[in-house]
Amino acid sequence: MLKSAIVCFLLVGLLLAPLATEAILEDASIVLYLPFDEGIGDQASDLSKSGKTGVLGSTGTDLPKWVTGKFGKALEFDGKTNFVEVQETPDFSYASDPGTMTLGAWVKVLNTNTDAHSQTRQPIIMKGNSGQWEYALYIYDGGNAGMSVWNNGGTGVSEPSGGPDLGDGEWHAVFGTFDSVEGVKVYADGELVAEDPPNENIPGNGTAHVFIGHREDGQFLNAVIDEVCIWNRVLDADEIAAVMEGPLTTAVRPHGCLASKWGAVKAYY
C-alpha cells in the first residue's frame, strides 16, 4: 500500500514538472568553443569552460576578416596567409587519452587549392606539425570533407574523406569524430559521408598549437568559418543534428529525461 502511494506521488510529479534542461556550454567535454562573434579586434574568445583565447594571425600582413557568419559574426580566411591560433594545452590531445574526440564547425568554402602547398586538402581545424602530428578536419580540393588522425610521426591512423562537393559558396556543417576503437567518422550537414576504422598505429599526443584555417607546413583554407568547437568525446548523429540547430550559446539539452525517471520508478516498484 505504501509503495503504491509513493509510485503515484512520483508519477504525478513527473507529469506536472517540466523536464529540466541545461546549457550545452555546461558540458565539460567541450574544451574549445569559438563562436567568432566579436566582430572586431585580433582575438577570439573561447566560451567553453577552458576559457582559452584564439589569436588572429598571418604569415603576411592581412589578418582574417570579420564578416557575417552562419550565426552572428564569423571570420573569413584568405587561403594564402591567415589563420587563428589557440595555444596548446593537454586538454587538446585526446587521441591517446581518453581516445575520443569530435571536431566541428560551420564552413562556407570560397575556393580550394589557393595555397602553395602540394597537398589536395586544406584544414578547417588542425593540430600538429613536424614530429608532432595529431589530427585535422579538412576540406579537400574536390570540395568534400575529411578528417585525419595521425601518430606523431605523421603516419595515418584513420583518414576517411568523401561526400558531396561543399564548395558551392553556401554554409555547411562539417563534423568529424574519432574513437580509438571505431576510428573516424565524417559528417556533412548532419549526414555520415565517410568512415574508416583505425589501424595498428598509435594516435599522436603532441604539443603543437591548434590552428583554424591553417596547417603550419603551408596549407591554408579559403573559407568563412564559424562556430568552431572541439569535444573530448564522440558526438552521435542525433547530438550533431541538435548542435546544428543554432549557436551553442543558445542551445539546451534534456537533463534527466522522462524515460530514465520512469525506469527508476519501475525499478523501485
Find, among 133, 138, 45, 28, the residue nearest to 84 by Cα: 45
| Average pLDDT estimate for 72-93 | 95
Q: Please, are residues 36 and 225 in contact by the beta-carbon 8 Å criterion?
A: yes
d(C-alpha 88, C-alpha 93), whole Å: 9
pLDDT for 130-170, tens place per residue?
999 999 999 999 999 999 999 999 999 999 999 999 999 99
Q: Which domains does the chain have, with CATH numbers?
A: 23-255 (2.60.120.200)
d(C-alpha 41, C-alpha 24), whole Å: 27
Question: What is the model's pTM?
Answer: 0.84
CB burial class (10 A; 0-12, 13-18, 19+) of residue 181? exposed
Provide the grid cell at 133.
Answer: 602530428
- What is the Rg, in whole angstroms, of the alpha carbon atoms belonging to the chain? 21
User: Percent of the chain beyond pLDDT 90?
Assistant: 74
